[in-house]
Every structure is written in structure tokens, then in C-alpha cells.
Structure 1
Amino acid sequence: MIIMQLLDQPLFLLAWVVAIIFVLTIHEFSHALAATLLGDGTAKMKGRLTLNPFSHISWVGFFMLLVIGFGWGKPVPFNPYNLKWSRFGPAVVAGAGPLSNLICAIVFILLFKVLFPAVHPLFLIYSGIGAEGNLLAIFLSLSIFLNIILMLFNLIPLPPLDGSKILFSFLSDVKFSRIRETLEHQGPMILLMVIVLDNMLNLNLLGSLLYGALDIVYKWLL
């Protein structure tokens, strides 16, 4: 895990922490911005339409990202009944977070290729810190990694993740109400159990899934 490589190198650990804060802030701000643009002022009233990271950081999600490489920010409140598109509005708000991560990943990949053309943008994942250990390269590589991982993790269709809200927009018919209710009540516990058991039993199933998808997404972006 990247964090194990960084613990003995304070400057690189600092880059990791700053990258986490940046990525989480952009992700949650994008939710707030989307909700505001669609006509709901709840996020703005709650002080979430801001780039102040302290308004968006969930310390549990931050710790998860810091230690195991995937986590979450503080959920952005919004009233779905105030949105312009009553059915798909929540999906647009939910999708704004992962979309912002995708855009940031693309921008950072392009920037990395301009500044460090001889180095793989995800060198930290594939080869660890080596001769390429330039602090800016470390930060950009970590930001690319985190943006893609946060996007993929949040697209898992289990509450409270963004993927569940996107899924529920397509399951709005009454005949799907039981499925929605089951996922809304059991989803968070299922997600927590998967994360805990995956780490306690050292199965690394979720990590393998996310890292495999990370590789696919990166190759697609190229």
C-alpha cells in the first residue's frame, strides 16, 4: 500500500495528505454546485457551496483514504423535490462528484505528461517511489490515483455512495420500491461489512476490484 512507502518520507506523506484533501474537496463541492444549479439552495445554506476543505472532509472517510486508499467525504445535503428534474435530478447531483474526479484525473494526466514525459503517471502504483521521487511528480501521481479511485468507489451502487442515487433514479417505479427500501436500509451495513471483512481477512477483494478498474480507466483515458 502506498501509505507504507510514504510513512518514512514526511514530504511525500504531506503530498499524500494534501492530495486527499484536494480530491475530496473538489468531489463534494461538485455535488453542492450541481444541486445549486438545479435549483436547490440547501447545500448553499448549509455552507457547502465552498472550496473550504473543512466544510467537506469526513474524518472517517479521510482516515480510510489515508490508510487503505479509498474513502469518502461528508455527504452534501440537498432536497430532491427542489431540483428542476425531479426524477433524474438526484442522479445528476450524485454523478457530479465522480464526474469532477474524472475531469481532474484527465487534467492531471495531461499535466504530468507535459512535465514528466519519461515517467508513467501512475509510477507510484506500479513501481513505487524510486528515482522519479520528485515531490511534484509524487503529488500529481497521487492525485491521479485518488481521483480515479474515488470516482470508482463512489460509483458502487450501495448507499450512501453516489452510485446508489444514480441507480435509484432508474428504479423510481413503484415495482422497484422494495429493492430501493432494502438497499437504503441494508446498503450501508453491507458496504461496511465488505470493507471490514476484506481488510480483517486480508482478502483484498475490493482493493483488487478497484485497482483492476483503475488500470482499465487509466488505459481508456490514454
Structure 2
Amino acid sequence: MLNRSPEEIIAFAIALIPAFTFHEFAHAWVANYLGDQTAKNLGRLTLNPLKHLDVLGTIMVFVIGFGWAKPVPVNPANLRNGRRSMAVVAVAGPLTNLAIAGVLGFGFRFTGLVGSQFLEYVLLTSVWLNCALLFFNLIPIPPLDGYRVLLGLLPEGAAIQYSRIGQVGPLALFGLIMLGQFIPGVDILGTIVIQPTEALMRALLGT
């Protein structure tokens, strides 16, 4: 990312901030709707980016191409339907990214109204980024949303067994991210995130 032009970096930042913000807001809103006011009480039920962006996580996006926002705190004990509702809260973030990508992608596809080359680049970057966040966050490895979705869908016994990977999950995820950097020809993350991202983006844009 750091080898990009200043215009590209600015465009990426413009796309990144709302993508992260709406993703985390969706978690907070759905959790509150389903009975848990933890996020609301901590000021996370807001579209103010400053409440959701993690300084280090945002910087790392531009340094290594991977970063994070502040996770929204959720107390499953307060949710109606417990574990199942936790899955709904978890999937709300990725689905919001899908919705944003869909609105922007179809809007560009059927109107083509942008106004400038820079705005067009921002829009297309937003579509790509939101598609990427959708697929990345659905990876069923903690601390990603896909892990909590799977825990909510599995039978109780299987969920208990699967929850035991929680402690090693972040390390496994980091290894997955870095694998392609050190082993030529091995890019698992590219296969499960980038390829679906590009396919979905082409479908949305009709290219």
C-alpha cells in the first residue's frame, strides 16, 4: 500500500473509513435490537468513525494491507435466543459490507454517473474493499465474524469443541495472512478472499 500514489492512498482511506464504520455499527445495532445494550452503553451505537476505528489497526492496513477496527463488545447472555442471536449479530457486519458494495456497484453499473476520474477510483475501491471485507470476515477463524457465525449454527456439542480453537485462532489467522508473503506460489488468503472478491465485483459491475 505504501508504494501507491498519494491519490490512491487517499482514495483507499476514503473507502476504508465508512466500510469499517458501517461494519461495526451494524454489529452494535443488531446486538441492541436483539436485547444487548452493551455496545450502546459504551457509545458504539453510532456512525461516528472515531468510535469504531482502531488507530494501530488502521495504520496497519496501509503498512501491510491488513488491519482491523475496534471490535464491538457483545454480551451473549443478554441476547434473545443466545447463541443463535450471536450468529445474527456476527453476520450483520459482513452483510452490511455486501449491501454497501451492492448499492455502489449497481449504482455505478446502471448510471455511470461519477463526475471525475478520482471519484470513480474511490467508488470502485469502495466496491472492492467492501467485497473483500465480506469474504475476509466470514473466514471461520477467531476473532473474525465467521467464527462466531459458525459457533451459533453448530450443534451445542460441536460448538463447544470448536470454541477451543479460540486461543490459537488469532495466531492461525496471522499465519494464514503471512503465508503467501514467504512461500512463493502459496496464497491461501488470495484463494479464499481475493478471488471471490474479484468475482463478486465483476458481477456487481457487469464487467
TM-score normalized with structure 1 length: 0.82
Task: Check the 8 A contact 1:87/1:172 in 2, yes or no.
Answer: no
Partner of residue 178, structure 2:
196
Quickly say closer, same or farther: Cα 1:176–1:109, change in 2 above 3 A. Answer: closer
Residue 199 of structure 1 deviates from its aligned partner by 2.1
Of the three residues 44, 51, 57, the one matched with 2:40 is 44
Report the Cα offset of residue 12 of structure 1.
Answer: 3.2
Superposition deviation, residue 58 in structure 1: 2.2
Task: Report deviation, 1:25.
Answer: 0.5
Q: Deviations over 1:30-86 (max 9, x none)?
A: 101110111110001111111111111123432343345443321100111111121
Unaligned runs of 5+ in 1: 120-131
Q: Where does residue 125 of structure 1 map in the other structure?
A: none
Q: Does 1:101 align with 2:120?
A: no
One-letter code aligned to 2:84: F
**Distance in 2, Cα, partners of 1:158 & 1:189:** 10
In structure 2, the residue matched to 1:177 is 160
Paired residue secondary structure (1:87): helix
Is the Cα contact below 8 Å between 1:20 and 1:66 reproduced in 2?
A: no
Aligned to 2:51: 55
| Other structure's SS at 2:73 match | coil
State how far apart, in whole Å, the 2-side matches of 1:64 and 1:210 are. 18
| Unmatched 5+ stretches in structure 2 | none
Return the TM-score normalized by structure 2: 0.88
User: What is the deviation of 1:208?
Assistant: 3.8
What do you get for the CA RMSD once the two structures are aligned? 2.4
What's the CA shift for 1:19? 0.8
Partner of 1:35: 31
Match of 2:109 among 110, 113, 117: 113
> Secondary structure at 1:88's aligned position in 2?
helix
